[in-house]
Structure 1
């Protein structure tokens, strides 16, 4: 795959390259005739663990815009080279807006209403399903990456499969979930503050890995974010009218997600030399520890005790010296 010619064919000038996140995507802010835009390079189309295609971005973007939400307008597209030029929502995420003094409750209630619009809208796009997705398989990263570093020893055969089976048992005990479109990465740095009030005050980005899945997943991502502390009154406000089933799946999926990140952080450091995510153990560990008080998670609490797992901040362990205990086929 060649670099996209979009930048050079249309007289755009580069303003700045944006910091890269935990994916292979890169963004560059560009300018032409006083108008800014973003050049989005979605990365390699092969040879990486999780391929992101600009062709996945387009239909989801158009669908979000069709239901009245602010997703970026697509100005130019280069599917051959997996790139696009899209609308620039500016530099202020809702996280930054709150730091600048915008009312936190207003921001989170608006984000919650955006999720309600998404969950209530009919979506007939051809998208992956959470149950068969790579993301669901990746929940085993807690067992494959975090536990060997924690214990300073290789896992016994079948350990990750046993971990997944334990979660399957918990999920069966709480019944089915309501399915809807799932953003997958709905957090305060993927929501851009556009000013004003109402649904259009927030722009939605980084939705190209969207799929169908549990209607509680995105709210967990928003309220139990590794990047931001959310006050209890805001969590209560957004959860107070949810059903028991929603709350049960919220707790189960949230805890799976946090545990996956405990392992994912080690994987980022070992495989991609991205150690900056180590700082988030201080926020993730309390999420898991508090969740263990929920009766729904009693089998997980028992499993941890049986396996002798005491959760710790892996950044304070010799994770580099223990990396050889991680299996070669860890996902």
Structure 2
């Protein structure tokens, strides 16, 4: 066995060559904090641009480019694309600055105003055809996601072998619950529509003032999904009064909708998403050593329990009561402590797919 040839370019060299081709040779790069994916961003200081580094083997950049262009065509604010090398997984994109919803809300910016703008952006998005080139958010995809709960969260309650033995039965319960909503092909679903991925853009009017990030995993599915993920966010609490007001604000602007069906879709997708996110947060901690997500488990569990209070989801709720005793209660402190002790990245060099939550 011999080492790889020294002539092979490192990722750093690839980034430098890409920037040189774009006319920014020698630009000073500031690495931005990483998220739950393998993608990285670097700020080109002083020029209003970001370098997006999306490793082709784990995070192909093509979907981001295609969805960005579709959003631009609708008058929505995805980052402008200045230069793209899909094969290398590199792009030079517009820098939206620092005003994420998360940061603004923490600083005391009016909550209702920000959320209404985000809802208006969804109304604009959902008023157009979703496009035929994207895959469907179908039953298989929904099932793969909610399996994260039985694969990662449930073993903390009943053990790995017991959870594995229940897997097929659990997935059937969920399949029954979302059989109808899985047929929807009514909207472009961005799938990560929450405060970390929304920005307020000064100097832009109307829905263009809402900057959109992290949409490369978009699919075609139910319009209720992104509104639900905005209003039932694992990251922060929202009052029930505001949640209802924002739901109404959306529905009033879309009188053509069958509102009862939309709300039913919302409830079923909420159960699916919260199950998925509970599994993801445990996986991020236990497998990847990213323990910060554990702080959001109690809130996410509360949202999951509330979603399952819907009468239509009684069979799933009763299944959980029967097979996962204590599922409504927060994980014990000892369990959380064990997750925090897990070594970072048990498999060195393993790739980590993007995480929606």
Q: Measure the CA separation in 2 of the matches of 1:136 and 1:174.
A: 12
Contact 1:69 1:199 in 2 (8 A): yes
For 2:76, the equivalent position in structure 1 comes to 69
Contact 1:52 1:208 in 2 (8 A): no
Q: Residues 133 and 23 of structure 1: is their aligned pair in 2 closer, same or farther, counting only changes over 3 Å?
A: farther
Q: Residues 157 and 209 of structure 1: is their aligned pair in 2 closer, same or farther, counting only changes over 3 Å?
A: closer
Residue ranges of structure 2 left out of the alignment (5+ in a row): 1-8, 252-256, 343-352
Question: Aligned runs of 1:284-303 on 2, under 5 Å?
Answer: 284-303=300-319
More off after superposition, 7-16 vs 72-81: 7-16
Question: Aligned runs of 1:1-331 on 2, under 5 Å?
Answer: 3=11, 4=14, 5-9=17-21, 10-31=24-45, 34-43=46-55, 45-46=56-57, 51-131=58-138, 134=141, 136-155=143-162, 158-172=165-179, 177=184, 179-195=186-202, 198-240=206-248, 241=251, 243-311=259-327, 312-314=329-331, 316-318=333-335, 320=338
Q: Measure the CA separation in 1 of the matches of 2:105 and 2:26.
A: 32
More off after superposition, 70-79 vs 310-319: 310-319
RMSD: 2.5
What TM-score results when the alignment is normalised by the length of structure 1?
A: 0.88
Aligned length: 317
User: What displacement does 1:157 show?
Assistant: 5.2
User: What displacement does 1:153 show?
Assistant: 4.6
What TM-score results when the alignment is normalised by the length of structure 2?
A: 0.82
Q: Measure the CA separation in 2 of the matches of 1:135 and 1:22.
A: 20
For 1:328, the equivalent position in structure 2 comes to none
Contact 1:14 1:28 in 2 (8 A): no
User: What displacement does 1:279 show?
Assistant: 0.5
Q: Measure the CA separation in 1 of the matches of 2:126 and 2:279.
A: 29
Deviations 1:161-196 (A, max 9, x none): 211110121224779545211001001110111135
Deviations 1:86-132 (A, max 9, x none): 00000110122223333211111111111111111123241121116
Q: Measure the CA separation in 1 of the matches of 2:80 and 2:99.
A: 18
Q: Residues 65 and 238 of structure 1: is their aligned pair in 2 closer, same or farther, counting only changes over 3 Å?
A: same
Q: Measure the CA separation in 2 of the matches of 1:2 and 1:80.
A: 15
Contact 1:28 1:38 in 2 (8 A): yes
More off after superposition, 205-214 vs 156-165: 156-165
Q: Measure the CA separation in 1 of the matches of 2:208 and 2:234.
A: 25
Residue ranges of structure 1 left out of the alignment (5+ in a row): 324-330
Contact 1:174 1:245 in 2 (8 A): no
